[in-house]
Amino acid sequence: MQRRSSQYYHDTNGVPLEDGRTHHVGVAKGEVANRIVLVGSSSRAVTLCSLLDGAPQFSIKSHRGFETYTGTFQGTPVSIITTGMGGPMMDFAVRELRHVVDGDLVMVRLGSCGGLSPEAVPGAVVANTPGSVRIARNFDATFEDESDANYVISQRRAAPDVALAQRLAAELARDCDVVYGLNASADSFYDAQGRVDANFRDCNGNVLERLRARGVASVEMESCYLLHLAAHGTRIRAATCAIVAANRGTGAVVEKDAFEAVEARAGRAVLRTVAALPADVPPPPPAPRETGAELGSALRAMQIRLGMRPEGATEADRKRFEDEDLDRPYGR
């Protein structure tokens, strides 16, 4: 009989493990499939588990709030995992799952969100085909007025895997009212999403307008973290979508029964997506070799973006590069 370790965990400078299980998600090698559906809530996980071929063959609830269910959908092994709320929880999930699963990973998030565009009505599903930006409270701001400095919106968007995102959008469109749009992941449910609380000086009255000006259709708290980590991780393909619970412009809120019905239809679409798509991640194409002229042009562009003024640079050049940066994706 193997003796249980008396240490709190091992490998404090890597991925901490307790007797072979990750410290937060609580899973070990062989317990998680290569195709993963990530959800925020336990009830959504239960709904998706009811769509599997049968009862999950493996399940575990960690002491940190994560739940993992592994079974099959249409004969293909899949795992349904709850991540809770916010970026740090998503970070735990993606990193620890990558640590215990060998080979390629396919990850799709089915979440809930607030709609910002007029089309993102309650009960619709926003497929984040363009990806997601991030918005966060700026701790260096003074919060003395409604300054843009109070909340930082990332200039670049985290992009999904293109083939996976397109397949997801097509599957969702079979059964759901789908909106295709950019998402914003906030570091809070309250201030960075423009909610007003008289007990705090948040100075966030312009947050939603700024997000709409960037073309954001939905706002939640997790998707950008998943897409960013996947783009900078090893052999991870990721895409995200979310059900609109309320439209922040009109104030309309979905009925509970209607939300649960959409949850089941969208859940089936997500499961079809991960089950049908090959898990193999093709190797990235070799980077093209740049000529001396191209390198010089790239250096000049970088100097302009950094506020320098190389010979011949104009204010129009600076503005053009600034606009390009706002829509330049990470990774893919």
What are 136-149's pLDDT values in tens digits? 999 999 999 999 99
Confidence of residue 293 (pLDDT cuts 50, 70, 90): very low
Among 119-123, 180-184, 211-215, 304-308, the least confident range: 304-308
Closest CA to 281 of 201, 132, 162: 162
Displacement of CA 314 from its chain's centroid (Å): 37
CA 187 to chain centre: 12
3-state helix, strand, coil in the chain (%, to 5): 30, 25, 45
Say if residue 12's pLDDT is above 70: no
Residue 279 has pLDDT above 60, yes or no: no
Q: Pairing relation of β-strands 216-220 and 105-115? A: antiparallel
pLDDT of amino acid 20: 80
Residue ranges of domains in the chain: 17-283, 291-332
Question: Is residue 281 pLDDT above 50, yes or no?
Answer: no
CA separation for the pair 16, 9 (Å, rounded): 6
Q: Using CA atoms, how far apart are residues 80 and 56, in angstroms rounded to an integer?
A: 9
C-alpha to C-alpha distance for 332 and 310, rounded to whole angstroms: 30
Strand ranges for 32-186 from DSSP E:
35-39, 58-61, 67-73, 76-82, 105-115, 125-127, 132-137, 151-153, 157-158, 178-180, 182-186
pLDDT score for 6 = 60
Lowest mean pLDDT among 64-78, 224-238, 296-310: 296-310
Token representation of residue 217? 């259709």
Q: What is the DSSP string of 40-83?
A: S-HHHHHHHHTTSSSS-SEEEE-TTS-EEEEEEETTEEEEEEE-
The residue with greater pLDDT, 85 or 295, is 85
CB 193 within 8 A of CB 186: yes
| Identity at 120, one-letter amino acid code | A
> What is the predicted pLDDT for the residue at 19?
76
3-state secondary structure of 240: strand
By the 8 A CB rule, do 213 and 148 touch? Answer: no
For 105-139, letters b (16+ CB in 10 Å) and e give: bbbbbbbbbbbbbebbbbbbbbbbbbbbbbbbbee
The sign of the dihedral angle between the CA atoms of 43, 44, 49, 50 is positive
CB 72 within 8 A of CB 53: yes
Higher pLDDT, 320 or 207: 207
Alpha carbons 163 and 167: distance in angstroms, whole number = 6
Q: Which pLDDT value is given to residue 1?
A: 45
Output the pLDDT for position 319. Answer: 53
Mean pLDDT over all residues of the chain? Answer: 87
Q: Which CATH superfamily does the domain covering 17-283 fall into?
A: Nucleoside phosphorylase domain (3.40.50.1580)
Q: Taking residues 88-110, what's their average pLDDT?
A: 96
pLDDT higher for 320 or 294?
Answer: 320
Q: Is the pLDDT assigned to residue 3 strictly greater than 90?
A: no
Q: How far is CA 330 from CA 158, 224, 227, in A?
A: 5, 11, 9
Paired with 22 in beta bridges are: 17
296 or 276: which leads in pLDDT: 276
Q: How confident is the model at residue 10 (pLDDT cuts 50, 70, 90)?
A: low
Residue 235 has pLDDT above 90, yes or no: yes
Q: Which pLDDT score is estimated for 294?
A: 43
